[in-house]
Every structure is written in structure tokens, then in C-alpha cells.
């Protein structure tokens, strides 16, 4: 009988090695525009409902509320599934105690993938709202798109975590490509 590798650990190792050895494989399309005081642009996001996919406007989800918006490169990827998303599941109640009404995870994937990922990770049941930026237009508009062709990632979102009050960024943590430290739930919570 052969040993089955720990797939997320292998993916993390490969990603870190690629980043360390070939920084030229990662590139940004534009400079981030997530400064404190910035009003997030409106965007049509896809969510999965009981009746199938639906479009929601980001601005209406953020209006008049204190929320957290974080993003990651993709569903079912190693670090996203084992570190980043779980960090917000662990800190959800602590964020609520600080007045946060909802936590949104923005991913450049389709709503069908996010529905399966939410079920597989337990994040949907835990109360994290997964928003599909299916065509990446929001991610591009805020300057957080990156590609890593060597590992099959094109026009994905770099990791970031924001506290947003009535659509305006009040706290922001942005990670460098291939890193998941500043954008975790614990790191963002420490700012409040």
C-alpha cells in the first residue's frame, strides 16, 4: 500500500518554492487601490441560492453596515482551504462582537464551485458569505488581480482583508502574492 500525500501541504510547498525561486512567474496587472478611506466600487457578484445562481450588487450588501471583505486566489486550493478561509471561520464570532454584521469572501470562481467549496469546508454553514467575482472584473478594478501561469492561475485575486463601513474601507491588510499572513482573520481582527 502506498502513502497518499497531503495534497494541501504539497500545493503549499510547490507554490512557496515557485515564489522563492522564480518571482518573475508572478505579476500584478495594476496597483492596488484599497487605501483606507476608499469607497469600494459596486460590482455584480454571483451567489448560489436555493433556486440556483443569482446576481447581487456588492454596494447593496455593504450599504449602511459594518462588514469584512476578504479575498483569496481560488476555491479548493491548498492555502485558501486550509489556512485563509478557516481563519475567518475561527474569528467569525469575535468579529461579530466587534460589530461586524457579515463576512464576505470574494473569489474569482463561479458560484457552482463556491457552493461545493462552501459545503466541503463548512464555511457556508459557519456563516461566511462566498461571493463569486466570476469574470474578475471587481478584482481587476481594485487592482488586486494577479496571474501565476506556471501553476495554472490566471487573473485571480491576490489575498487581502478589509473592514468596510458603509462601503468605505476602514482597515486594510494586503498580502504579497504567494503569502497568507496579513490577510488572515486573526491579523485583521487584531486591528480592531
Q: Which of 2, 80, 105, 180 is catalytic?
A: 80
CB of 72 closer than 8 Å to CB of 159: yes
Catalytic residue check, 2: no
Pairing of strands 168-174, 160-165: antiparallel
Which residues fall within 8 angstroms of residue 111, CB to CB, at 6 or more apart?
46, 47, 48, 53, 132, 134
| Strand order across the 145-148 sheet | 27-28, 145-148, 153-157
Q: What is the distance between the alpha carbons of residues 125 and 37, in angstroms, rounded to a whole number?
A: 32
Q: Which of 33, 74, 26, 11 is nearest to 177 (CA)?
A: 26
91, containing H or E segment:
helix 85-97
Helices 111-121 and 85-97: crossing angle in degrees, nearest 10, is 80
CB of 40 closer than 8 Å to CB of 130: no
Residues annotated as catalytic (active site), given as ranges: 80
Amino acid at each position: 500500500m502506498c502513502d497518499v500525500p497531503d495534497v494541501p501541504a504539497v500545493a503549499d510547498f510547490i507554490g512557496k518554492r515557485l515564489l522563492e525561486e522564480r518571482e518573475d512567474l508572478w505579476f500584478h496587472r495594476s496597483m492596488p487601490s484599497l487605501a483606507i478611506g476608499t469607497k469600494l466600487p459596486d460590482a455584480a457578484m454571483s451567489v448560489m441560492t436555493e433556486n440556483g445562481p443569482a446576481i447581487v450588487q456588492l454596494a447593496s450588501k455593504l450599504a449602511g453596515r459594518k462588514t469584512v471583505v476578504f479575498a483569496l486566489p481560488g476555491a479548493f486550493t491548498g492555502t485558501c482551504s486550509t489556512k485563509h478561509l478557516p481563519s475567518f471561520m475561527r474569528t467569525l464570532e469575535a468579529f461579530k462582537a466587534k460589530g461586524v454584521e457579515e463576512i464576505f469572501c470574494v473569489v474569482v470562481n463561479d458560484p457552482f464551485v463556491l457552493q461545493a467549496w462552501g459545503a466541503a469546508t463548512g464555511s457556508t454553514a459557519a456563516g461566511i458569505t462566498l461571493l463569486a467575482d466570476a469574470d474578475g472584473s471587481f478584482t481587476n478594478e481594485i487592482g488586486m488581480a494577479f496571474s501565476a501561469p506556471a501553476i495554472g492561475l490566471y487573473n485571480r485575486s491576490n489575498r487581502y482583508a478589509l473592514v468596510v463601513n458603509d462601503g468605505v474601507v476602514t482597515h486594510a491588510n494586503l498580502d504579497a502574492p504567494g503569502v497568507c499572513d496579513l490577510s488572515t482573520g486573526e491579523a485583521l481582527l487584531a486591528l480592531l
